[in-house]
Amino acid sequence: MSELNEKPSVRSRFITAYNTLVNALSFNPALRKTWRALVSEIRHPEHGEETPPSHPNGFIKMFRKRRLTIAESYLTIATYLDSDKYRERLHALTLITEQAFHSKALAMPLNTARVQIALMKEAVKYRDDRRRQMELLRDFSVSSFGQPLAIRRYLTELNLVEVPETGKQLKDLGMGFDTHVHDNASYGRKTPSQLIIDAFIKGISEITIGYNSVSHPEIIEEALEAGAIMGITVHIGIEYSVRTDGKRFHYMFLLPPLRNASGFKAFMKKYGASIRVFLDGLEEIRKRRMRSIERLIAHFNKTFRAEINEGYPEGSMYALPPLSVNDIQALVPMDHATRMHLGELLYHKLTPVLFRRRELRLAQRRLAAAEESRGEIPVWESQKAEERYQEAVRACQSILPEQLRLTYFSNPALSEYATVFNDLPRLSAQLRQTGGLVKILHPLEHGFSAAMRMLVRYASSIDSVEVYNMYDRENREIAEIMQFAKCIRLMNAGDAEGLRALAADGVAVSDKDIDACVRHCRARPIIPRCGSDSTGRSTVIPGMGFIFENRIPARQRSAFIKAHATLPPPVARLIAENRGMPPDTAVVSMGKTFAEVHKHEDENTVHAIPPKRAWRYLNPALKNIIFAAAGFIPAYFFIGPVFACVWFVITGGRNAIVDSISSRGYSPKAWNIKSINFDNLAQSLFFTGFSVPLLSFVKLQFDHLWPLADSGMLYQAVKFFTLCTINGAYLFTHNMLRGFEPTTARMNFFRSVLASPLAAIFAPALDIVHIPSVVQAKFWSDFVAAFIEGSRKLMTIVDIRTRNIREVLARFTADSEMRNIALIDLMYFFYTDPRSRTALNNALIDRPHGLKALAAFFTRRAHKPSEASGQTRDMLTAWFDEPLNLVRITECILATYDRATAHTLIDLVSSAFPEMQEWLRQHRE
């Protein structure tokens, strides 16, 4: 055992040195600063500053980065568990949505928002992994540009389905669905807002959330409002059980569609009295459930705790203290507690105890190894210490909340409690009067025979059936599930003989019941549903969401289906036909099919950072130098150092000028280095360097194959047409590889081809000074690109700015506080970004922009501003015409913000106010 005291191996020391070097060369100082701010938010979420309701791209950017606002808001949603904190959670959710939908993405805004929220959620999750957090922050920065290739790569890495970009919300896209999920107000782990965020990230269009009661209506209202904020349809279901024919079956009362919290309030006001018996029964069941939880905790403390603490002194840091009902309050509001929370309670209490035990056994192992090496103790004692350490390690590795619940809190004699409902037809009739539906949940809990008997006898009292429950299926044979699906199909088909044949195998149901069932189902078929029953706890059962295979993009379909579970074909056929899909459409689970294994390894174990990840997250400045150097080498050897430098100056200058003009305007005085996208510039230098040997080869082959004299306009025209066409094809290829939009790639192809006439015209003059033809072709290609590519970037930037300003102007009709914030946002846009002036002009006169403006120019249609835009322009002009308004908004800032923030904002508005005042006066007409 002496090797335990040895220094780390040579391999471990090498990997550690390698990782240290990679980490030192990764990321840039700005990202490291952002990471430190993120860590501070995670460690001290209660110290987070309240975010003013500024536009996501408004003056708030002077104080906070978008990614930090998203992370802080997610922490609020995940940590504020009390039901009375629902307003704070909804406010945080609104911030997340606004921030996520205001990236620089125009091509894939919905998918970009999903990716960015998912990245920041992961960054919060990996709070103990510094490098992983910085990787995620870097990915967030890259994803902000919304390049389709990058967004699709992140969707694949995050195991997410790409949703169509139609400008519609998720609820209108018909993507994922789940008719049975839980939040922390019933059996779940996550708050309603947190659950809706997960649904949004996954691409789920509609979900049904199950509750045990309506004793805290604010939780249900939160779920509905959260769905409205994120564009997801949320259905509300109330779960209950009814004793039927001596067996307890579980049901869900599906409330009629409710759009928001107001709809739920109106529903309860209208129907609360008529379903009072039902609501009172739910309250009694809640009390019985709490008594069962108390029994389970008392039984655990009396029996299992002593077993867990065996070998450790009672009251020591290595012994698990008794559990208390009050401890649940730290996880979930007491009124919402269920036995599902007991596994999580024990997990939170036991995890630190097991950690301390492992560290104790590690110290004892090392001490025993040292004593054994000195001959002070026998080998068997050292081996015993090793065995105790390995046992402690296994205990840390295997601990899971769901497994703890099943092991210690599943005693049916203690956990079960009687229901107060025993008349299904009567109860169903009362609930249906509200416009709601009755659905039976996991009907196979008592076996197929009991399920078929209950369903046939009480078909008229049931509207829907959960033919497949992802959580319950672990306890069912697949043959039983398929047999039940066949039963549903026969019932809805009105096949009495088929039902009799199915019942012949031990199902106690009469012909009279079958005939009555068939008559009812012919008139009103029972709706088949599938639900995950997800609680966010299990690591072995796929999580929330299902999707039809034909809704998965073709490029993702095969890999996604391979990595996820699919429903049995007979079940999928029922679900697909009910939703109007082709019968052979597969239904795919959107939850993962594998468990996350949290392994504990010795503290000396190190893993090398993979080279691919090391390169991906290399410091951008260093990576750009490598790109530029790699591109310069082939240019140097093919056209020499002078023309290689000229080549790079042309490419680099064109990128810098285009970026500066598109973002800061035509005046060089307004240009700054921050406007230049150096990542794009470096990649352009890399690819342009490799175009030199390609064009040189083409030029050599052209001269060899040209049958006529190598002079004259015909020669020049054909030569440069050939060179520019090949260059255009090369541009198109590497543009697509770099993730550019297809439109941009095609424009770059045609701009190269369009440069050939200019190159041919000026070739005689440039040939005199011995400038190579490939350099001439390059110059004119970039000359044309400066107009075409610059115009494209300009249109994109103005589109984004116009969108932002129109959203700010829409707030002018709000209350005075919101109007003041909108005015500060407007002055921030105006003063800090020259292109916002063009966008403001477009918004104030409601001028079309982008492709619509181009179409209007060519069709020569006169533009007529809308009445609303005219009113906004007049109101804004009138406000800035009054000098006292500068004083008023200064006083508003002083009264609202702290000293540092107020000083910055007053400096902004005092500088922007006179400039904007003069600009509005000049543009009055």
Measured CA angle at 246 (ends 241, 252), to 5 deg:
15
| Both tokens assigned to 83 | 């039901």
Alpha carbons 540 and 497: distance in angstroms, whole number = 40
The answer to whether residues 631 and 517 belong to one domain is no
Q: How many domains, in total, are found in the chain?
A: 5
Asked if residue 328 belongs to a domain, the reply is: yes
More confident residue, 466 or 665: 466
Half-sphere exposure of 151 (CA within 13 A, CB side): 27
Q: Are strands 437-441 and 247-254 parallel, antiparallel or unpaired?
A: antiparallel
The pLDDT of residue 808 is: 87
Residue range 371-421, pLDDT digits in tens: 888 888 888 888 999 999 999 988 888 888 888 888 898 887 787 888 999
* Cβ partners under 8 Å of residue 218, min gap 6: 83, 84, 86
Asked if residue 222 belongs to a domain, the reply is: no
Q: Hey, which bits of 634-733 come out as E strands?
A: none
**Last residue of one domain, picked from the residues 124, 141, 159:** 159
Question: Is the pLDDT reported for residue 864 higher than 70?
Answer: no
Do 222 and 112 meet the contact criterion of CB atoms below 8 Å apart?
A: no
Alpha carbons 860 and 698: distance in angstroms, whole number = 44
Range 635-653 average pLDDT: 88
378 burial via Cβ count (<10 Å: 0-12, 13-18, 19+): exposed
| Both tokens assigned to 29 | 């100082």
Residue range 29-72, pLDDT digits in tens: 989 998 888 888 787 765 555 667 788 888 888 887 888 888 88
Do 849 and 799 meet the contact criterion of CB atoms below 8 Å apart?
A: yes
Asked if residue 514 belongs to a domain, the reply is: yes
* Cβ partners under 8 Å of residue 538, min gap 6: 402, 471
The answer to whether residues 521 and 383 belong to one domain is no
Alpha carbons 485 and 573: distance in angstroms, whole number = 9
The pLDDT of residue 60 is: 86
Residue range 7-18, pLDDT digits in tens: 567 888 899 899
Range 451-480 average pLDDT: 92
Give the DSSP H or E segment for 369. helix 340-373
| Both tokens assigned to 377 | 């103790």
Give the DSSP H or E segment for 687. helix 678-705
Do 376 and 226 meet the contact criterion of CB atoms below 8 Å apart?
A: no
Residue range 511-549, pLDDT digits in tens: 999 999 999 999 999 999 999 999 887 766 788 999 999
The answer to whether residues 741 and 669 belong to one domain is yes
Rounded mean pLDDT of the chain? 86
**Last residue of one domain, picked from the residues 101, 136, 159:** 159
Residue 121's domain comprises: 1-159
Range 860-884 average pLDDT: 71
Alpha carbons 750 and 725: distance in angstroms, whole number = 8
Do 828 and 801 meet the contact criterion of CB atoms below 8 Å apart?
A: no
Range 463-488 average pLDDT: 91
Asked if residue 166 belongs to a domain, the reply is: no
Asked if residue 804 belongs to a domain, the reply is: no
Report the SS3 class of residue 155. helix
Range 334-354 average pLDDT: 85
The pLDDT of residue 490 is: 95
| Both tokens assigned to 648 | 């790079």
Range 899-923 average pLDDT: 89
The answer to whether residues 778 and 651 belong to one domain is yes
Asked if residue 672 belongs to a domain, the reply is: yes
Do 235 and 227 meet the contact criterion of CB atoms below 8 Å apart?
A: no
Rounded to whole angstroms, the maximal C-alpha distance in the chain is 104
The answer to whether residues 662 and 765 belong to one domain is yes
The answer to whether residues 407 and 464 belong to one domain is no
Asked if residue 552 belongs to a domain, the reply is: yes
Number of neighbouring beta carbons within 10 Å of residue 339 = 20
Residue range 244-287, pLDDT digits in tens: 888 999 999 999 999 888 999 999 999 999 999 999 999 999 88
Residue range 726-740, pLDDT digits in tens: 988 988 898 888 877
The answer to whether residues 394 and 492 belong to one domain is no
**Last residue of one domain, picked from the residues 415, 431, 465:** 415
User: Residue 325 has what DSSP assignment?
Assistant: G
Asked if residue 433 belongs to a domain, the reply is: no
The answer to whether residues 482 and 364 belong to one domain is no
Give the DSSP H or E segment for 237. strand 233-244
The answer to whether residues 155 and 6 belong to one domain is yes
The answer to whether residues 1 and 81 belong to one domain is yes
Handedness of CA 863, 867, 868, 872 (dihedral sign): positive
Do 521 and 494 meet the contact criterion of CB atoms below 8 Å apart?
A: yes
The answer to whether residues 466 and 408 belong to one domain is no
The answer to whether residues 766 and 876 belong to one domain is no
